[in-house]
Structure 1
Amino acid sequence: MTYFTLASVCGAQEAYPAAYFTPFSPQTALDMVKHLPGFSFDPGDAGLRGFSEAGGNVLIDGERPATKSGGLAAALSAIPAGQVARIVIIRGGVSANDVSGQSAIANIIRVRNIQSLSGSLSLSGMAEGHFGSAVVTASRTFAGFNLASTTMFDATGERSHGSRLSFDAAGKPVRQDDLSYRTDYPEWSQRLSLDGDVAQGRMTANFMVAEARLSEAFLFRNDNQTDRFPKHTGRRRGEVSTDWTRGLGHDYSLKLLALANVVDLDSDSLSQSGTTATTLQTTDRFENRSVSREGILRAAVTKGGDSPLRPEGGVELAWNTLDSRSVMTGADPDQIFVSEGRAEVFGALNWQVSRKWLLTAGAAYEVSRIKSEDDRDTSNRFAFLKPHLTASYAPDPDSSLRLSLRRSVGQLSFGDFAASANLAQGTASSGNADLGPDSKTTLSLDYDRRFGTRGAFNLSAFYDWRENGLEASVLPSGDIGVVNVKSARVWSLAANLELPLDVYVAGGLIRLHYVYLDSIIADPITRVRRDITGQRPAEITISFRQDIAAAKLSWGIDYARGFEARLWYADEVRLHEHSTEWSLFVETSRFLRSKLRVEVNGLAGIRNTYYRTLYAPNRSATRNGSEIWDIRTPPMLTVSLSRSF
């Protein structure tokens, strides 16, 4: 297994031919990306602002997939491994606006005009439950266009048991329950893509539809009382997108993109109580129906080639809407319509100072207007300047250093504008129509070093200055909801090591991952300094894998250290303790030209414990009780079979 280091106007490059991945028996491009040495796959986040902010760190034939729903993972899963000619990693600095801000980018180069068919089937089982999935991907060339189709059905779920202890304000036990939790989540989706030459340019079109239905229920039971909290949620998604790229001469190119998606959600939550499971009667009900829509139009002009100065610029228009209706037992119906229109212009200049140095400077300026229509119509305007500056240094073909300063703006979750409730936890939240987008200025430093054929080391650190972050608090009306917090600070240090063990274990590789994270924010209720809600202070994972090429066999074991996270709600402080996790897999490609994989997740089971400290009416008052939820999930066994034809 070898890779080739190439000169690059954007930093050090490594090219991994398809043969490099043969020992891993990959079935899709996603499988191949996960085996790139020293590369951490970022699938992107469809919930982020606009198109460029939501991107991950993988390109397909030099272009970012023109899709948000499902993200990069879905796009890469739809590419059979046989269609990949090679994967090129660019480290140290990437200039393209669609992936700016990433320290490393993987570019998948496909084989054109090839027909393929692949499929996978998996069956999973745990105590009291059985699940499974099936995926079929097909591609062919027709009239000069490449057509691809991916059909998926996925049925996941969980069966957990435990206990709930309740205490009064003085800490005296008042109730003890057996707890059980059950969830089933079947989903099907269909994706179609088409790409080919149109009007002297290259066009790609994507279409996706999906439907899922989530059923979940908490059950608490003791000798005198039984409480059940079932919830049923339906989700329907759709997206259509297209992009077109054409050369303009003198190494300039024009890229146009249009995207639209919709998500339709309906949920029905019940609170049921009785002396036994057969005498349950509904005491509360919360129903919600929401439809969210997003549209994006984008145009960009970039300069490539070998010129030391490469400018780029463009404009993006976007709009988002949410139409939400909800009703709670004993309360008036709540209805709100939220919309945001946004316009952004952006530009950057990439200067290749030398073969070792790359400087990138640019900025984006956006204006937006958020309107909400309910019992009190509001309209707020925002404007943000988002500069960025990056210096990348590659002292030799195997190492790179990157320093970056960037300001970014988050995408509001319009769900925070609407009322919500969790009947099992006994919590409810009112919408806040006065929310604004959060923003942050990030100073980051990344160092990459490769050694041998598979060895890699990465060290990264960042410091965030955050403004208008979102935290649960008390609204001016006295209700509980989400508010903007003026400022916060977040800092982190992360290290990744991939160490080949061939000297001791043929084909062996160990991966070590460590993250330290800390923050400080003024609590919006008590004004006391604390961490940002939900933050995990440390993360440690260790993975070992051995590939025995002669036997067409691989096996491995993964370890993830347990963690603690503290969550701050308006009327509760919750400490979440998650146990250490172990998983084991064995896979082979010896039979029927297929890949067979057997995997056990949660070898010793998984334990989640929640310590809830409750306040009334909110955390500015004294404690009025507490609870301990102790939930145990048994191991999950999964057997999967995949094959490419």
Structure 2
Amino acid sequence: MGNRVRVAAAALLLGCSVPAAAQQAGPGGRTLYEAAYFERYSPSSALEIVRRVPGFVLELGAEDVRGFGQAAGNVVINGNRPSSKSDTLEAILARIPANRVARVEVGTGDLFGSEFSGRAQVLNLVLTSGGGLAGTVTATARRDYTGQITPEGSVSALYRRGASSFNLSAGYNNSHTPEEGIDDVTALPSGALLEHRRKINDISEREAFLSGSWEHQGGANRGAHLNFRVERERFELDQTNDVFPVRGPIRDDRLGQDYRTREFELGGDVTRPLWGGAIKLIGLATRRHRKEAEFSFNRIQGDVIGGYEQNVESQRDETLGRLVWSTPNAGGWSVEAGVEAVLNSLDSDVNLFELDEQGDRVRVDLPIDQAVVKEWRGEAFYNVGRSLSPTVRIDLGFTFEASRLTVRGDTEAERTLRFLKPKAVLDWRPKGPWHAQVSLIRTVAQLDFEDFISSAELTNDRVNAGNADLVPQRAWEGLLTVERTVLGDGLAKVELGYNLIEKVQDRVPTPEGFDAPGNLGTGRQAFVKTTVDLPLGSVGIKGGRFTWNTMFQDTSVEDPYTHRNRRFSGLTSWSYELGLRQDLGKFAWSVNYTASPREPYYWRDEIDAPNGREPFINAFVEYRPDRATTITLGADNILDVPGTRTRIFFAPDRSNPDPYQREFRERNGHVTAYLRFKRSFG
């Protein structure tokens, strides 16, 4: 086996290939995978097909990003992006039966519209024109370490008749994730123990949904779509906390959270021929209502001696329209032009109360706890592209964005923002296995409306102040992507990026003595990402594949307290994921290994570094009694590795370089096992 591994490594480094590559060359430099390529995996849905495309990493897009253009993932269906945002790409792909997929095409983003410019890989899922009914039924049962079994399930159906397709999906997502762990609070620099806590978290999250769509394909540049989604979601956390101070009485603290969300979305689009191309009108409306109730009580022998309660009610709405005209050939150039208009609003009411020793509630005024945030935003864009030679393509474009933002309530703020966002992409695809792309794009980040509103974090005993003066960061982003097919249908890819970022969005001090989301100075971000997807038949593992994804990045910006350069809050310095899978007819198995360090957040008086966990291993085995049925038995966190978090405290703030206290947290959900049954029909 050692010799075989060395042979495979040499083949990768030298760029050797083996016969029987499954992919084919398509128009515009696209790589094609016919449906027969995926039969070895016995997929039941389009989602499982997409996950088996060599070297392709699914990006879901950002549901919370306002507007349509910037929320794109990296998958289109029959050349069109789904006109939905609350339905994730995973949900949309999961309800398309695998037997309705004719082929998969992978190409550069500029082939599929301005939303994907600068992406080296976008996947186009081409569906068959077959009629009739097809669908999938999925049922899952999970068993956590407490012995509780939690069921969930979904059913989706696709019916096609003539030029029309109807898709309906309903489901119940259900998770129960108990955790147990400890907190240790120590004095610094001595390391003396101040307080020990034993905690048990009982976490439940339930979501019921109904979604559907209608599609009509009337020929070239003649189509229409209509989609909707209704969902209700509830998140609950109940924490018991036995507290053992070194000095003082033992306490039995409690923490509870109950979040309830209702959401409705209706969207659609119409495409018609115009001036030798196509004009497309997209409309989308989303309404989301959320109620949050939480409490944190300090108790001695069951008697409440203090604590906090917080209630939050918010309504978040979005209404948008987008008009796009495109043509594949205008004097040798592909052209796309359009406009988008969006109205977004957030109406938030936060009420925080402190409980005294008698149990009376006293209102705590936060800097901005009642506010209505509105944004009227419009953009116009123009993009052109053409082939400079049989192997080189250039794409150019610009977007002009203007918005008017108002904040009303506990504070009054109003401003108008205007940005010009040019871009240039050069793509090189010579004959053979190589492909390279370089891009330079001007980007402007979106503001999170929640950052305007103050609220308490009872789980962390701190206040996150709002900032009505926050403005979006903007950046010049450069990216070089080089990829090569190896070992037949394998792929190796390297991405090198450098971003120069102005007005970095991070955390800043407030006049009230808190800190809040705000803007720092100019910062930089440099990263390298690698993707390797290799077939293992040449080293004697029939039906095997090995995947490797890594990311290393360095960020730097001046800290407002220490005035020294530090990393951006919330960004890890590295991560990697290794996967090994083997498909053997009716049987398959997979092991997946992920790791990453903590992600520090730089608050006014602390450095909070959560999410430390290494290694984290998931595995499953599958049995396929027939082509329509898959039975999967799997386990998450099979090495029983806990997650950790470290908080370092400073007084009065981080301008003092010597911390006075450290809090270490450890949480473990232990091993979770699941059994999943999938059955496709039609």
Assess same fold via TM > 0.5.
yes
Could you tell which deviates more after superposition, 385-394 or 228-237? 228-237
Aligned: 1:180 with 2:200: yes
Residue matched to 1:511: 547
Residue matched to 1:29: 46
**Contact (CA 8 Å) 1:297, 1:316: kept in 2 or not?**
yes
For residues 151 and 507 of structure 1, the distance between their equivalents in structure 2, rounded to whole angstroms, comes to 34
Secondary structure of the equivalent of 2:153? strand
1:243 counterpart (248, 262, 269): 269
Q: CA deviation at 1:137?
A: 0.2
Aligned: 1:167 with 2:153: no
Which structure 2 residues correspond to residues 106-121 of structure 1 after superposition, within 5 A?
106-112=123-129, 113-121=131-139
Residue matched to 2:386: 351
Residue matched to 2:375: 340
Residue matched to 1:50: 67
What amino acid does structure 2 have at the position aligned with 1:269? E
Could you tell which deviates more after superposition, 520-529 or 208-217? 520-529
Q: CA deviation at 1:293?
A: 0.9
**Contact (CA 8 Å) 1:474, 1:480: kept in 2 or not?**
yes
Residue matched to 1:230: 256
For residues 428 and 109 of structure 1, the distance between their equivalents in structure 2, rounded to whole angstroms, comes to 49
Q: CA deviation at 1:467?
A: 1.8
Q: CA deviation at 1:431?
A: 1.2
**Contact (CA 8 Å) 1:92, 1:392: kept in 2 or not?**
no
Q: CA deviation at 1:591?
A: 5.2
**Contact (CA 8 Å) 1:58, 1:107: kept in 2 or not?**
yes
Residue matched to 2:640: 605
For residues 296 and 217 of structure 1, the distance between their equivalents in structure 2, rounded to whole angstroms, comes to 39
For residues 443 and 220 of structure 1, the distance between their equivalents in structure 2, rounded to whole angstroms, comes to 48
**Contact (CA 8 Å) 2:153, 2:171: kept in 1 or not?**
yes
2:322 counterpart (290, 298, 308): 298
TM-score normalized by the length of structure 1: 0.95
Q: CA deviation at 1:414?
A: 0.4
What amino acid does structure 2 have at the position aligned with 1:242? G
Aligned: 1:466 with 2:501: yes
Aligned: 1:533 with 2:554: no
**Contact (CA 8 Å) 1:179, 1:220: kept in 2 or not?**
yes
Aligned: 1:573 with 2:607: yes
For residues 36 and 479 of structure 1, the distance between their equivalents in structure 2, rounded to whole angstroms, comes to 48
Structure 1's 591 and 279: CA in aligned 2 closer, same or farther, altered over 3 A? farther
Q: CA deviation at 1:461?
A: 0.9
For residues 290 and 118 of structure 2, the distance between their equivalents in structure 1, rounded to whole angstroms, comes to 33
Could you tell which deviates more after superposition, 616-625 or 94-103? 616-625
**Contact (CA 8 Å) 2:139, 2:154: kept in 1 or not?**
yes
Secondary structure of the equivalent of 2:520? strand
Residue matched to 1:127: 145
Secondary structure of the equivalent of 1:219? strand
Secondary structure of the equivalent of 1:606? coil
Residue matched to 2:79: 62
Q: CA deviation at 1:451?
A: 2.8
Residue matched to 1:102: 119
For residues 95 and 63 of structure 1, the distance between their equivalents in structure 2, rounded to whole angstroms, comes to 8
Which structure 2 residues correspond to residues 255-266 of structure 1 after superposition, within 5 A?
255-266=280-291
Residue matched to 2:670: 634
Residue matched to 2:298: 273
- What are the Cα deviations for residues 169-220 of structure 1, in whole angstroms up to 9, with x where unaligned? 5543111111222210010111110011579830001100111100013332
For residues 512 and 548 of structure 1, the distance between their equivalents in structure 2, rounded to whole angstroms, comes to 21
For residues 606 and 305 of structure 1, the distance between their equivalents in structure 2, rounded to whole angstroms, comes to 56
Residue matched to 2:24: 5
Which structure 2 residues correspond to residues 587-626 of structure 1 after superposition, within 5 A?
587-590=622-625, 593-621=628-656, 623-626=659-662
What amino acid does structure 2 have at the position aligned with 1:214? F
Structure 1's 119 and 307: CA in aligned 2 closer, same or farther, altered over 3 A? farther
Q: CA deviation at 1:452?
A: 4.1
For residues 213 and 496 of structure 2, the distance between their equivalents in structure 1, rounded to whole angstroms, comes to 38
For residues 383 and 321 of structure 1, the distance between their equivalents in structure 2, rounded to whole angstroms, comes to 19
**Contact (CA 8 Å) 1:159, 1:181: kept in 2 or not?**
yes
For residues 168 and 457 of structure 1, the distance between their equivalents in structure 2, rounded to whole angstroms, comes to 49
Over the matched positions of the two proteins, sequence identity in percent amounts to 24
Secondary structure of the equivalent of 2:165? strand
- What are the Cα deviations for residues 502-555 of structure 1, in whole angstroms up to 9, with x where unaligned? 121111111111111111011122222101112211112211111112xx1111
2:595 counterpart (533, 548, 561): 561
- What are the Cα deviations for residues 303-361 of structure 1, in whole angstroms up to 9, with x where unaligned? 12597311111111112110000111131373100001111110011011122110001
For residues 495 and 479 of structure 1, the distance between their equivalents in structure 2, rounded to whole angstroms, comes to 40
**Contact (CA 8 Å) 1:352, 1:358: kept in 2 or not?**
yes
Structure 1's 182 and 248: CA in aligned 2 closer, same or farther, altered over 3 A? same
Secondary structure of the equivalent of 2:36? helix
Residue matched to 1:586: 621
For residues 472 and 601 of structure 2, the distance between their equivalents in structure 1, rounded to whole angstroms, comes to 21
Residue matched to 1:498: 533
Q: 5+ unaligned residues in a row in structure 2: which ranges?
A: 1-19, 245-249, 354-362
Q: CA deviation at 1:479?
A: 3.1
For residues 43 and 97 of structure 1, the distance between their equivalents in structure 2, rounded to whole angstroms, comes to 17
For residues 53 and 349 of structure 2, the distance between their equivalents in structure 1, rounded to whole angstroms, comes to 46
TM-score normalized by the length of structure 2: 0.90
Secondary structure of the equivalent of 1:590? strand
For residues 454 and 598 of structure 1, the distance between their equivalents in structure 2, rounded to whole angstroms, comes to 28
For residues 152 and 137 of structure 2, the distance between their equivalents in structure 1, rounded to whole angstroms, comes to 11
Q: CA deviation at 1:626?
A: 2.2
Secondary structure of the equivalent of 1:425? coil
Structure 1's 553 and 305: CA in aligned 2 closer, same or farther, altered over 3 A? farther
Residue matched to 1:145: 164
Structure 1's 125 and 136: CA in aligned 2 closer, same or farther, altered over 3 A? same
Q: 5+ unaligned residues in a row in structure 1: which ranges?
A: none
Q: CA deviation at 1:469?
A: 2.3
Q: CA deviation at 1:397?
A: 4.7
For residues 83 and 241 of structure 1, the distance between their equivalents in structure 2, rounded to whole angstroms, comes to 23
1:308 counterpart (325, 332, 354): 332
What amino acid does structure 2 have at the position aligned with 1:400? H
Residue matched to 1:220: 241
For residues 358 and 184 of structure 1, the distance between their equivalents in structure 2, rounded to whole angstroms, comes to 50
For residues 629 and 140 of structure 2, the distance between their equivalents in structure 1, rounded to whole angstroms, comes to 13
**Contact (CA 8 Å) 2:163, 2:218: kept in 1 or not?**
no
For residues 596 and 659 of structure 2, the distance between their equivalents in structure 1, rounded to whole angstroms, comes to 28
Secondary structure of the equivalent of 1:499? strand
For residues 436 and 92 of structure 1, the distance between their equivalents in structure 2, rounded to whole angstroms, comes to 29
What amino acid does structure 1 have at the position aligned with 2:142? S
For residues 497 and 306 of structure 1, the distance between their equivalents in structure 2, rounded to whole angstroms, comes to 38
- What are the Cα deviations for residues 225-266 of structure 1, in whole angstroms up to 9, with x where unaligned? 11111111011111111111112253x111110111122111
Residue matched to 2:364: 331
Residue matched to 1:360: 395
**Contact (CA 8 Å) 1:92, 1:402: kept in 2 or not?**
no
For residues 593 and 309 of structure 1, the distance between their equivalents in structure 2, rounded to whole angstroms, comes to 45
Which structure 2 residues correspond to residues 189-228 of structure 1 after superposition, within 5 A?
189-197=209-217, 201-222=222-243, 224-228=250-254
Q: CA deviation at 1:28?
A: 1.1
Secondary structure of the equivalent of 1:37? coil
For residues 95 and 162 of structure 1, the distance between their equivalents in structure 2, rounded to whole angstroms, comes to 48
Residue matched to 2:484: 449
- What are the Cα deviations for residues 53-82 of structure 1, in whole angstroms up to 9, with x where unaligned? 110111101000011113211211121111
Secondary structure of the equivalent of 2:542? coil
Secondary structure of the equivalent of 2:430? strand
For residues 461 and 243 of structure 2, the distance between their equivalents in structure 1, rounded to whole angstroms, comes to 19
Could you tell which deviates more after superposition, 452-461 or 194-203? 194-203
Residue matched to 2:58: 41
For residues 91 and 379 of structure 1, the distance between their equivalents in structure 2, rounded to whole angstroms, comes to 40
**Contact (CA 8 Å) 1:2, 1:20: kept in 2 or not?**
no
Could you tell which deviates more after superposition, 62-71 or 329-338? 329-338
Aligned: 1:90 with 2:107: yes
